[in-house]
Amino acid sequence: MLPPPAATGTQTLPQLPPPPVAPGPSPPEKQPPLGPREGNLINPRNRKPSATVKTRMAAGLGVFTGACSPALPLSAPQNVVKFTPPMTVAVCIACGAEKFGAWVPCPVCGFEPTTVVDKAKSLMLSDQSVPPDELHRYSSLIKSSQQVPYEPVSLAYWADVIEEDEYFLVHLDHERGVLPCMRCGSVFKPKLEEIFCPACACETKEALCSCSKCVKIFERDAKYCQECGAMVVPKPDLSPTSIGRELAIAVRRIITTVDVLAKFETLSEMRRVLPSEKRVRTEVELEILGMYVSVLALRQVTPSLRLVEGIVKAMLDLYQKGWLLAGVASSAVGDRADLCLSRFQQYEDAWGVHENKRTFWLAEAATRHCLGIEKNLKAVTEMMLVINYLIQIFRHSLNSAISR
């Protein structure tokens, strides 16, 4: 829900509940797709499965968990693993039967997840990902031949994790202890279970530094915080890729679980009168706006333009993979990515119109693109509140990740 909007002149805008401490489960009136959750396998916070975890999970011998602080998925060194419990209850994604172990063959229909996507779906349909009552609900959906609403961005996240894990197992030359880089193909010798050569790792998996005093992140060669002067500390769990994935899932969670326009009279009414195809377009545009606003929150925690660019690229990459997994044609995925970049530039131009009225001009552009409304002060004022709310939420997600 949105925070209480401020009054403008003598007009009182609708009072809304305060924002949550962190993006959490959806309100009861809107059922979300199976996706990011707190304290579970879909949202591990600090672990990416190593080959050991992968093997144990495939055998149904164990799973990995992370801490239970409010945050979103974040990669970490792959050699640090915590197992609990020795067995995990899962649901067969083919027939809906209960089984022990996410990747083991189903005792009822015999289905065994072997593809990357099937393994990712199986991880999402386990008691380490969702509460038992929801697991039973998804089991009932499958048994009644209905579709499980897998959240595509979360599915893409886990598909990436599994794909990287399997790449290490398949391509490692055990005799020489080397493997080709997954990104550029250069042969190198991993120290742990790295799949990127040092050069590519600097661009995608580069460990960052942070200032715990003012909650900022810097590139790995930084020594002192540029804002408060305190010494920064290395954060091996933080990288441009991990933060980009985190922002992608944060944006997706908010847009799909919270109707950010519903509590505003003008915005909700103007959306209501739109034809159905334009309302669908509005949802797409709102998600793009959310992605751009997450970049504004990101700029508050890092002064490095290079870091911002790397993080945004990782966010868009995960989104594109999610669209493909959702069944969007490759050509259409390219068109969506182009639309995102185009809107980003338009929002960036609006943000730079007037330094003291940035949110106003951004809201004016957002109202025009999302709803086709121009020169409506009340609609722009309400959209400003939506933007400020989203900045708060994304900034909190970033702060939680940096502070861990």
Residue 348: alpha-carbon gap to chain centroid: 22
Give 107's Cβ-side CA count (13 Å radius).
9
Query: What pLDDT is recorded for position 385?
Result: 95
* Token couple for 341: 């970049």
Cα–Cα distance, 57 to 63 (Å, whole number): 6
Query: What pLDDT is recorded for position 72?
Result: 30
Q: How many CB atoms lie within 10 A of CB 20?
A: 14
Query: What pLDDT is recorded for position 36?
Result: 47
C-alpha distances in Å from residue 247, one per residue of 24, 144, 152, 270, 287? 14, 35, 14, 29, 12
Contact 386, 260 (CB under 8 A): yes
- The domain spans of the chain are 51-153, 172-204, 239-403
Query: What pLDDT is recorded for position 31?
Result: 42
Contact 44, 261 (CB under 8 A): no
Query: What pLDDT is recorded for position 33?
Result: 59
Contact 6, 380 (CB under 8 A): no
Task: Give the burial string for 116-126 (b: 16+ CB within 10 Å, else e).
Answer: bbbbbbbbbbb
Structural Rg of the chain based on CA atoms: 22
**Secondary structure string (H, E, C) spanning 241-304:** HHHHHHHHHHHHHHHHHCCCCCCCHHHHHHHHCCCHHHHHHHHHHHHHHHHHHHHHHHHCCCCC
Query: What pLDDT is recorded for position 129?
Result: 79
Adjacent-strand bridge partners of 11: 8
Contact 211, 238 (CB under 8 A): no
Q: Provide φ and ψ at 357, rounded to 5°.
A: -130, 40
Identity of residue 333: V
Query: What pLDDT is recorded for position 37?
Result: 44
Per-residue pLDDT of the chain (404 residues; tens, 9 = 90+): 333 333 333 333 333 334 444 444 344 344 445 554 433 333 333 334 443 344 344 434 333 322 222 233 322 223 333 333 335 789 999 999 999 989 999 999 999 999 999 999 999 998 877 888 889 999 999 999 998 989 999 999 989 888 888 888 889 988 899 999 988 899 999 888 888 888 888 777 778 888 878 888 888 888 888 888 889 888 888 888 889 998 999 999 998 888 999 989 999 999 999 998 899 999 999 999 999 999 999 999 998 898 899 899 999 999 999 999 988 898 899 999 999 999 999 999 999 888 789 999 999 999 999 999 888 999 999 999 999 999 999 999 998 888 87
Determine the length of the chain. 404
**Secondary structure string (H, E, C) spanning 181-200:** CCCCCCEECCCCCCCCCHHH
The CA-based diameter of the chain, rounded to the nearest angstrom, is 77
Contact 261, 319 (CB under 8 A): no
